[in-house]
Amino acid sequence: MKKKNIISFDNYLSKEDKILIQILIELVLVEDVGEGDITTKATINPKVLSMARLIAKQSGIISGLPLIPLVLKCKTKKYKLRLKVKEGIKVHPDQVIADITAPAHVLLIIERVLLNFLQHLSGIATLTAQYVEAVKPYKVDILDTRKTTPLLRLLEKYAVHVGGGVNHRYGLYDQILIKDNHIKIAGGIENAILRARRKYPGMPIEVETKTLNEVRRAMFFHPEIILLDNMSPKMLRQAVKIVKHKALTEASGGIHLKNIRQIAATGVDRISIGALTHSAPALDLSLKII
């Protein structure tokens, strides 16, 4: 499900999505705070106000800023947020991202939860941007996958979007993707495609292929997308010639920053990379009371 190419939390997410994210934040705070932050209760006067500064400790693409007020609202209505950068901007070491004024005990309670979200999402956006930059000379989209952290899919795919990537399907419900196990159980590519077409007419069908022969067999039934799984650059070029732009071609498997440009040069339309969400290193950020 491809979302609008606008770096806007409000435009990207539906009302239902936002409700789910708010519930997620509340659950994460329960996980971390439990019955109460006993260290803060023991040392901090709840009437004291403080200012905290969110600072970048390394270069990267910032993502997740719209979560700051959502996290704060779970613990207080008395806060002031001053963003110093926009969502999706590249930040540099020691750059101030935001100033937050709130009750001191609230800042201490939300610190780790807020940083966990922002560091993780910014890491995904940063890695995605690196892949997008690497294939800039070619007309190819960089896609994410369903290899996401349980319950964080909406936010992780949003971070991919912020980094300039394109979202693949969100779940098992919004696109047909016939993979090797479906093919085995259905009794072949032909049976799988025909059954899918009968059951969901009009729904785009993507078929996973591992050999050029499978590409030829799949194309006989006119799927909208051909997934080219773990193919060498030479095989990818041959597969693109077989498809002849009668379907979108998507390369996947064994793709990393060192070979992404070579993969893009084969002429495929899309490259899907699970590492965008399951292996992105967190961007180093800090929240300091000033």
Q: What is the CATH number of the domain that holds 84?
A: 3.90.1170.20
Whole-number average pLDDT of the chain: 95
From CA 169, how far away is CA 151, in angstroms rounded? 15
CA distances from 270 to 44, 222, 229, 248 (A): 53, 18, 12, 8
Same domain assignment for residues 65 and 176: no
The model's pLDDT over 109-127, given as tens digits with 9 standing for 90+, comes to 999 999 999 999 999 999 9
Same domain assignment for residues 129 and 160: no
Same domain assignment for residues 85 and 167: no
The SS3 call for residue 248 is strand
**At residue 2, does pLDDT exceed 50?**
no
The model's pLDDT over 71-96, given as tens digits with 9 standing for 90+, comes to 999 999 999 999 999 999 999 999 99
Q: Does residue 21 belong to any structural domain of this protein?
A: yes
Same domain assignment for residues 112 and 207: no
Q: What's the domain count of the chain?
A: 2
DSSP string spanning 136-203? TTS--EEE--S---TT-HHHHHHHHHHTT-B---SSTTSSEEE-HHHHHHHTSHHHHHHHHHHHSTTS
**At residue 6, does pLDDT exceed 90?**
no
* β-pair type (80-83, 96-103): antiparallel
The pLDDT of residue 117 is 98
Same domain assignment for residues 140 and 27: no
Using an 8 Å Cβ cutoff, are 206 and 227 in contact? Answer: yes
Cβ–Cβ contacts within 10 Å for residue 96, how many?
16
Alpha carbon dihedral 57, 58, 59, 63, in 10-degree steps, equals: -60
Find the mean pLDDT for residues 56-80. 97
Find the mean pLDDT for residues 232-248. 97
Same domain assignment for residues 47 and 124: yes
- For residue 101 the two structure tokens come to 């004024």
Active site positions, annotated: 112, 147, 179, 208, 229
Residues 6+ apart with CB under 8 A from 233: 259, 262, 263, 265, 266
Same domain assignment for residues 108 and 189: no
pTM: 0.94
The pLDDT of residue 127 is 98
The pLDDT of residue 3 is 43
Confidence of residue 1 (pLDDT cuts 50, 70, 90): very low
The model's pLDDT over 138-172, given as tens digits with 9 standing for 90+, comes to 999 999 999 999 999 999 999 999 999 999 999 99
The model's pLDDT over 176-195, given as tens digits with 9 standing for 90+, comes to 999 999 999 999 999 999 99
Estimate to the nearest angstrom the gap between the alpha carbon of 246 and the chain centroid.
28
Q: How many residues does the chain have?
A: 290
Domain that holds residue 179: 136-278
The pLDDT of residue 7 is 72
Q: Does residue 2 belong to any structural domain of this protein?
A: no
Same domain assignment for residues 111 and 149: no
Q: Does residue 117 belong to any structural domain of this protein?
A: yes
From CA 95, how far away is CA 183, in angstroms rounded? 51
Percent of the residues in the chain that have a pLDDT greater than 70, as a whole number: 98
Using an 8 Å Cβ cutoff, are 154 and 20 in contact? Answer: yes
Nearest Cα residue to 196 out of 213, 215, 179:
179
Same domain assignment for residues 160 and 103: no
The model's pLDDT over 250-282, given as tens digits with 9 standing for 90+, comes to 999 999 999 999 999 999 999 999 999 999 999
Residue type, 276: L
Same domain assignment for residues 142 and 270: yes
Percent of the residues in the chain that have a pLDDT greater than 90, as a whole number: 96
CATH number (domain holding residue 178):
3.20.20.70
From CA 213, how far away is CA 239, in angstroms rounded? 9
The pLDDT of residue 4 is 41
CA distances from 237 to 172, 240, 243, 254 (A): 29, 5, 10, 16
Q: Does residue 159 belong to any structural domain of this protein?
A: yes
Q: Does residue 4 belong to any structural domain of this protein?
A: no
The pLDDT of residue 8 is 85
